[in-house]
Structure 1
Amino acid sequence: MQALQKNHQIEVVVQPGELYQLHRTPGLAVFDMDSTLIQQEVIDELARAVGLYDKVAAITEAAMRGEAPYTDFEASLRARVALLEGVPTSIWEQLKADTITFTPGARDLIRVLKVLGWKTAVLSGGFIPLANWVKETLGLDYAHANHLVTDSDRNILTGELVPKAPIIHAERKRELLLKLAADNNIPPERTIAVGDGSNDLLMMGVAGLGIAFNAKPKVQQAAPSRLNCQSLLDVMHILGFSDNEVDGMLEKSPQP
């Protein structure tokens, strides 16, 4: 199948007929943030501020590929966060203004899902200041991400995670998907999960449909389905909607 897709430059997603029909009923769509809704890995961009990009990026890439010794997401996250000690808290506004770009099609995908009545969420192993901004900018319903400790007197990051705040690792993403679905009386089979990293596989597996979007090779092999394309809006084709239908819904939806 992969050879066929490569040779003919097509994407093939096989679904049970019952699941395909369920996509016509509004459900819950959850998304990873870094390299999914946005095009950057935020922790790497934070690391640039302290001149440690190479060290942090190397850990990030290994963790996203699920490679030892970084298969434990929490351990790799704490190791990377520790390198960020001293980064000014003004970095968040700087990233929003100068660095972060949304993935092509992300804005339109959320607009269409909202027209259809879907609930939407970002579940990120990144950080809550940017996850909340993504939520507000795109008009998502929920945002969950990791919390960093800040020194309010010096306005810097301390290199620590907030004690007792939940770590948004693979298991937590799966739990959040199921909780958000239950809170909205949505059965799991009417959920979709979209991500690109190994820490997205558990939520992809428990969702009615899991989609690896431009994902790492190991993730593509393990994911329920895969989508390799330029625009995140192409998720709508997997849900069974034509270009004409999508265009019609975009005409009904105001820009967020």
Structure 2
Amino acid sequence: MPHILTLVAAPGALDPALVSRCRAALTALGATPGAPDWLAEAEAVDLPFENAPAELAAAAARTALEGAPVDAIASPAEGRRKKLLVADMDSTIVTSETLDEIAAYAGLKDQIAAITARSMNGELDFAQALHARVAMLAGLSVDALEATWATTEMMPGAATLVATMRADGAVCCLASGGFTFFTGRVAQKLGFDHHVSNTLLIEGGKLTGKVAEPVFDRNAKLATLTRLATENGLPMAATLAVGDGANDLDMIGAAGLGVAYRAKPIVAAAARARVDHTDLLALLYAQGFRRTEFRTG
């Protein structure tokens, strides 16, 4: 079978009746589905199929699910396990927007979060929005960065995603429009091979209100994906990119498996694959990993 539809739900929540409904939707689409292959009992299942495009199959499954909290990702059966992961950080690998959280210590969280939301939904130029937000924090003590890091939480499944892919021979890179202060710590905590992001300029223990140039933006994320693929001798088909904001769109579009993760509407609409309901373990299931193959971070 040349394609596989993967259905993922919370542990214990994937009702076989929903799986049957999705198989019926594939048949109605003109596809020829195969037998279900459970990757984790009542949590994740593969439905092989042929004679239908992957994106149409995933859309048909989402319609058939009728709002049930189940993610549906369709991809080619060949080369499912990717050898390069490039992941956004804020609201993807970590649960928060770290710049917004820093801003709370300046009493500016609501104002800066509003700019962040517009930027991530593609309404504002990323670099301009970054400069504007950072400028508002001029004079803030670096203690605010340490305090923000102390409360930063990893996204459920993040550690297992990185550990499992690295154990399978993949290179993992954190690529963020955020800041090296955080990407370095997240990369060390989770075991990423590389991290690239922006650098906050600091003088006398306080933020200057500026970032080092050039800004690490949407184009830089795509360039990082293509550079690492080339350096590791990988075709783009062997890459996975995941993110939630407009600055992730180019790398998501270029990757072999590009995933919009709990993403802004503009990103969810454009991505070939999306995870709306479950956590980052869905990216492992989408590559055909079984629960018994997962490595702990």
* Greater fraction strand: 2
Structure 1 residue 23 displacement after superposition: 2.4
- 1:103-252 to structure 2, matched below 5 A, reads 103-151=155-203, 153=204, 155-162=205-212, 165-246=213-294, 250=295
Question: 1 CA distance for matches of 2:283 and 2:66?
Answer: 19
Q: Deviations over 1:50-69 (max 9, x none)?
A: 111111000000111112xx
The reply on whether 1:29 has 2:81 as its aligned counterpart is: no
Unaligned runs of at least 5 residues, structure 2:
1-58
Question: 2 CA distance for matches of 1:179 and 1:40?
Answer: 28
The aligned amino acid for 2:134 is: V
Structure 1 residue 95 displacement after superposition: 1.7
The aligned amino acid for 2:148 is: L
Contact 2:88 2:248 in 1 (8 A): yes
| SS of corresponding position for 2:78 | helix
Q: Deviations over 1:65-85 (max 9, x none)?
A: 112xx1x11111111111111
Structure 1 residue 7 displacement after superposition: 3.3
Question: 2 CA distance for matches of 1:53 and 1:140?
Answer: 29
Identity %: 37
| SS of corresponding position for 2:75 | coil
Contact 1:197 1:219 in 2 (8 A): yes
Give the counterpart of 2:148 among 81, 95, 99.
Answer: 95
Residue aligning to 1:3: 63
The aligned amino acid for 2:279 is: S
The aligned amino acid for 1:96 is: W
Contact 1:5 1:11 in 2 (8 A): no
Q: Cα RMSD (Å) of the superposition?
A: 1.4
Contact 1:193 1:210 in 2 (8 A): yes
Question: 2 CA distance for matches of 1:202 and 1:149?
Answer: 27
Contact 1:46 1:87 in 2 (8 A): no
Residues 5 and 84 of structure 1: CA distance in aligned 2, closer, same or farther (over 3 Å) = farther
Count of residues in correspondence between the two structures? 237
* Greater fraction helix: 1
Contact 1:196 1:216 in 2 (8 A): yes
Structure 1 residue 196 displacement after superposition: 0.5
Question: 1 CA distance for matches of 2:137 and 2:146?
Answer: 16
Residue aligning to 1:74: 127
Give the greater-gyration-radius structure (CA). 2
Question: 2 CA distance for matches of 1:239 and 1:21?
Answer: 10
Contact 2:84 2:229 in 1 (8 A): yes
Unaligned runs of at least 5 residues, structure 1:
none
Residue aligning to 1:59: 115
